[in-house]
Amino acid sequence: MARKKVKLAWIVNNNERKACLKKRRAGLMKKVAELSILCGIEACIVIFSPDEVEPVCWPSQVGAKQVLERFFGLPEIEQSKKMTTQETYCNERMAKLQEKFNKHERITKKWR
């Protein structure tokens, strides 16, 4: 059964917000662990919470620090080679859709 779509909005109730963070944090950590195992990659996650002094890290603070040090030890070109922002993703997606539209338009013009 499919889940209903969650409305993304600020959770006003403080206790509900903390409970939601706790559940979603566990889900995020599980996903990162699965990704690490299934793809054979080094991954880490660092979550800062306003209610906690120390950040929550996976696999551990030491493990996360090692992964981040390895990443920041790479040359800047290597760091950003496969990195994408929401803007670049949207631009690439728009270009692909435009290309697809143009292809269909050419095909329909042939049949006229």
For the chain, the structural domain boundaries read 12-79, 82-112
Has residue 1 got a pLDDT over 70?
Answer: no
pLDDT of residue 84: 86
Any idea which fold 12-79 has?
Answer: SRF-like (3.40.1810)
Average pLDDT rounded to a whole number, residues 94-99? 96
- Statement: residue 102 has pLDDT above 70: yes
DSSP state string for 1-56: -PPPPPP-----SHHHHHHHHHHHHHHHHHHHHHHHHHHT----EEE--TT-SSPE
Average pLDDT over residues 10-15: 92
In the chain, the percentage of residues whose pLDDT exceeds 90 is 75
Q: Which two tokens stand for residue 72?
A: 């920041």
d(CA 3, CA 24): 15
**Per-residue exposure over 16-43, b if at least 16 CB sit within 10 Å of its own CB, e if not:** eeeeebeeeeeeebeebeeebeeeeeeb
The answer to whether the CB of 83 falls within 8 A of the CB of 71 is: no
**For 17-27, how does the pLDDT look when each residue is reduced to its tens digit (9 = 90+)?**
999 999 999 99
DSSP character for 2? Answer: P
For residue range 19-57, list pLDDT tens digits in order.
Answer: 999 999 999 999 999 999 999 999 999 999 988 899 999
Give the model's pLDDT for residue 51.
Answer: 87
